[in-house]
Structure formats: C-alpha cells, structure tokens
Amino acid sequence: MNIATIFEVVLAAVVLGLGIWTIAVRETYSATVGFVAYGLLVALIWVRLDAVDVALTEAAIGGGLGGVLLLGAAARLRDAEPTVAEAPGMVTRVSAAALSALTAAALAGAIVFLPDPAPTLAPTVVAHASATSLANPVTNVLMAFRAMDTMLEKVVLLLAIIGVWSLAPDNAWGGHPGPRHQADPDGILVFLARLLPPVGIVVAIYIFWTGANHPGGAFQGGAILASMWVLAIMAGLTDTPSIGRRWLRFVLVAGPGLFLLVGLGGLWFGTAFLAYPPALAKPLILGIEVAMILTIAATLGLLLAGAPERSVK
Amino acid sequence: MSLARDIMTISAVSAGVFFFLAGTAGLLRFPDTLTRLHALTKADNLGLGLVVLGLLPQAGSLREGLKLVSIWLLVLLAGATVSQLIARTARQGETAK
Amino acid sequence: MSGPTAFGLCAAVAVGLGLYGLITNPHPLRKLIAFNLLGSGVFLLFGVVGRRGAAAGVGNDPVPQALVITGIVVAFSATALAISLLLRLFQKTGSTTLSNVAPPNASSDPSGG
Amino acid sequence: MTEFLTAAVGFILALLALGLVSILRGPGDTDRMMAAQLIGTGGIAALLLVGTVTGVSAAVDVALTLALLATFASIAFVKKGLSSLETHGTGSTENHK
C-alpha cells in the first residue's frame, strides 16, 4: 500500500464523514454547510479520477452555486424548523436503513466485481476528433457526438426558470426576482463587488476559451459569470432585471434557440439533425457555445435569485 | 539546479503545512469567534502563500506560475473581506446581547 | 485496494446515505440535500467506472464524463425549482410540512424532532 | 518528491477535517460562517498539490474556479447569516421582507 493509496483512502474517508454529517446532524443550517464542504472535496476526487472537466463543473456547482442556493433556503426556512414534528417511526427507520444498506452493498459489489476488460469509448472519441478539430474529447462529446443531450439540457434549464417564475404571486408577476439588497456605500462588500467581477469575467472567458483543447467549456465559464453577477446583486450595486424585459427573454432562449436552428440546418443541408458540415464544424460549435455561455450565465443567476416576490406598483 | 528547486519546494511547503497546523490548532483551542478568526486567517494567508511559493519552482512555465500567484492574490482578497464581514457580525451580535 | 476502488466504495455508501436521509428525514429541505447526496454518489460511480476505461491517452472515458456534466446541470436546475416550490409553500401556509394533517394536530406529538 | 507532496496533501486534508469539526460544532452562527472560508483555502492548497503530484496541469484551472466561487460562497454565507440574525436576534431593524 503506497502513500498515494493512503491519501486516496483518507480523502474518501473525509468525504464520507461529511456525507454522514450532512444526513445525521440535527440543524438544517449545519447540514447545508456540511454539504457545501462535501461538494468542494468531491471536486478533489474528480481531479484524482482524471476527469478535470467534471471537477470544474462540480467546483462551480457543488461548492459554489448549489451551496448558495441551499443556504439561502435554509436561512429563510429557519423559523419553520420546529413545526415539523412528524419524524417517522421505528419501523420505517429500520426498514429504510436496511434498504439503504442493501443498495450500498449491491453498488459496492458491482464496483469490486466489474468485468475485467473494461468497456470504453475513449479510442472511438479520439479517433473521430479530427471531425471537429477540437482537441478536448469531452467538449467533442458534448458539442458534437452527443449534441442532442446538451441541447435538451439547455431546454431543461429554460423549463426550470419558467417553472420558478410561474410560482410568483399574482401581484408580483412581471417584477424583479428576489429581495432588493441595500448598498452600503462605504461597505467592504461593495468594494469587493467592484473589484472582483472584472477578474472573474476574464477567468470565465479563459475557462470558456480553453475548453476547446483543455478542460473547460461554456458551462463552467457560465457558472463563474453567474456568480459574479449575483455577487454584484448581493452587494446592492445592481438589481435583478424585471422578468418582462425583452432582452432578458432573448438571452434566455439564445442558447437552445441557436442550437435548434443549427440542428435543423443540418437536417436541411446535410444528412441528419445536428450534423455539422465538416468545414464549418468549429465555427458553428464556437457560435453555439458563445450563445450558450450567455444563456447559462443568465439562467443560473436567475435560478439563484428565485421567483419574483416584490409586488409591482 | 533541480536539487536546489526541490529543497526550496520542500522547505516552503513544509512551512505552509505548519501554518495550516497552527491555524487548525487555533480553531480547536481558542475560546471565542474573534480569536478563532485570527487563527483562520493565518492558515489562509501564510499557509496557502507558502504552499504556492513552494510549488512555483515546479511550475512548468511562466503562465502556470502567474496563475498560481493570481490564485493566492484572489484568496487573500477574499479572506480579508470575508473576515472583516464575519468580525463585524460577531461584534454586532455581542452588542445586541 | 486501489485508489479508484476506494472512491467507488465511498460513492456506494454515499448513495446509501442519501437514500436513508431521503426516506427518514421529515424536513423537505433535508430531503433535498439527501437527494443531492444520492445523485452525487451516482455521478461518482460513473467517474469510477469511466476511470477504468482510460485509453488512447484520455485519462477517463469521455462519454460518461459528458453525461455527468449534463447530469450535474440538470440536478442543479431541478434543485432550484424544488426550492422555489418549497419557499412558496412556506410563504403561503407558514409551514413546510408535506402531510395532509393540519399543523395544530401535528403539534400534539412533540416526541420527534 | 512526489511522496513528500502526497503526504503534505494528506496532512492538509486531515487538518481540514479537524478544523471543520471544530467550526461546525461551534456555538454560534458566526463560527459556522468561517467554514466556507476554511474549506476554500484548504481545498485550493490540496488541489494545487494534487495537480503537481499527478501532473494534471489543468488542476490549476480548477483551483482558480474554486478561488472565485469559494469567495462567492463565503460572501453568501455571511450575507445570509446576517439577514437571518437580523430577523431572528435583535429584531430592531425592519428592512427587506
């Protein structure tokens, strides 16, 4: 057992400990904090598994945006905690524990006794990389070989934001999502919110651009952009746009819309839905990704802000 | 040359790990929020800074090195701001009691 | 035991933990967190299996990687929608209980919590 | 060299776990707000070291992302904690609903 394995076992143990904390602790706020820590450390596991693209996504979502989302809900639902007194009985608990242990054991068995020549699609993906002239295999799969999945994922994002907005009370419809934050002009938060976003935007564009050949891409870049936007909103420097704005709605549908248009164009000119002409593959993918990063940033930011709740005059 | 780099890496990373140790010890032992905050910022600023300093000789190119330094600067900025905010909150909580 | 196997076992236990929390915890927000834990365990299982498919200079099979990235995004948007539903429920009724029994009756059994 | 850096990551991880225990157990909300800061810094240090050990140079990009988003999460921690304290504790300020 060499030192690298010991490190991996320690990492797995710490992550598991956080998982147990998240489930077992009594207070919801503490559980949320535990989950954020869990998300950040899972990103470390993904690096160790040599899946850096996923690590970037997990760092952005699990540690950053997802944690903030859960935390905001925990802070607002704090008063609701004592009213929930319907803990399940002993029978339910024991049978749930048995079911969970069985599931975990079955999965662990599956991991230990995997078939030995592992099935893999990596050589196929690498062999066809020349079709798009992008060197990052994950981007190739996301944007070309399984582009349908990515397009539908963008539609899911759109549906989620429609679902969130539809929960607005009648008198708030058309207003600004989320609470209005007051800016403290001499405050340190305002200072940070002025200093950090320019840096964040540069990093986001870098992560986006490097995604063609190295780990990175539109989603990871978009998540960073969204966090910078929400930071400025939280500091009170700007407000969320009212949901009736035309430019906002245009940005929200730009990504999936352009994707769909290109897909239909493939059906019209080429052979199949979403088939890119080989000469135009890279510019087309780049165009879709530029539209997508804007859509993703706007959607994630608005998902964090929540439903409109301030009544419109 | 390579030996000198390795020595620098080992000494700087060891010093960085020491500051993480000191910070954790402070978190475990100190009695109230403000002193614990003080311990935490040691791990932030010096611990990470020394780890970054130790990894600089191992960085492949100038670009990698610049990225490492900018990460440290970002964390410094964040640490300074967040500890200010936390300290202010702790102070308000005390005066309200 | 090799490193990826350790992560695989960790992922399997995370799925079990998430399932347990999802069933037994009465607080809806805690159910959501447990569900996210379960999902994260499933993603990690993909990663461990994909790690064994390292070939042709790629450290991890890119197809499961792409699936997991898509999955993380979908899980995030579903969580955001669920939290909005929960906040609206709280705003409307002043509680977050999911049972049909009216809240005053539920308070007669203070043993839980 | 690799062994030394791997041991350093393992040590930092163990310290991180210890620090988390003390913070999460901590009596007040202000103590819990430090958690995001601690995980951010320790996670970045561990990530940079792991990246150097395994030769995954893109780990630096993950650390860069983490530096930005951990800052964001810490700010949100403090901000949300503040608003819940306001509605919960003093009650003297009635601002946003």
Give the count of Cβ contacts less than 8 A between chain A and D.
160
Sites in chain A below the pLDDT cut of 50: none
Testing the interface with D: which of A7, A32, A220 to mutate, by most D Cβ within 10 A?
A7
Residue type, D8: A
In chain C the domains, ranked by start, together with CATH numbers, are 3-96 (1.10.287.3510)
Q: Are residues D4 and D52 in contact, defined by beta-carbon separation less than 8 angstroms?
A: no
- List the single residue in D with minimal CA-CA distance to B97: D90
Banded model confidence at residue C107, pLDDT cuts 50, 70, 90: very low
Residue of C47, C44, C43 whose CA lies nearest to C62? C47
**Strand partners of residue A308:** A177
Q: Which residues contact D44 (CB under 8 A, 6 or more apart)?
A: B48, B71, B75, D63, D66, D67, D70
What are the backbone dihedrals phi and psi of residue D56, each rounded to the nearest 5 degrees, phi first? -90, 100
Interchain contact, D58 vs A215, CB within 8 Å: yes
C55 bridge partner residues: C58
pLDDT band at C101 (very low <50, low <70, confident <90, very high): low
- For chain B, the chains sharing at least 3 beta-carbon pairs closer than 8 angstroms are A, D
| pLDDT tens-digit map of B48-90 | 888 888 888 877 788 888 888 999 988 888 888 888 888 887 7
Report whether pLDDT(C111) > 60: no
Range of the domain at B18: 2-96
Q: Which residues contact A186 (CB under 8 A, 6 or more apart)?
A: none
The number of folded domains in chain B is: 1
Q: Which residues pair with C58 in a beta bridge?
A: C55
Q: Which one-letter amino acid corresponds to residue D58?
A: A
Kindly state the percentage of chain C with pLDDT values over 70: 79
D1-51 pLDDT tens trace = 778 888 888 888 888 888 877 777 766 667 777 777 787 888 888 888 888
Whole-model pTM over 0.95:
no
CA distance A183 to chain C (A): 25
How is chain D split into domains, by residue range?
Answer: 2-88
Tokens at C65, concatenated: 């990687």
CA-to-CA distance for C50 and A93, rounded, in angstroms?
34
pLDDT of A195 reads: 87
- Residue D85 CB: number of other CB atoms within 10 A? 18
| Interface confidence (ipTM) of the complex | 0.86
The secondary structure element, H or E, covering residue A204 is helix A188-210
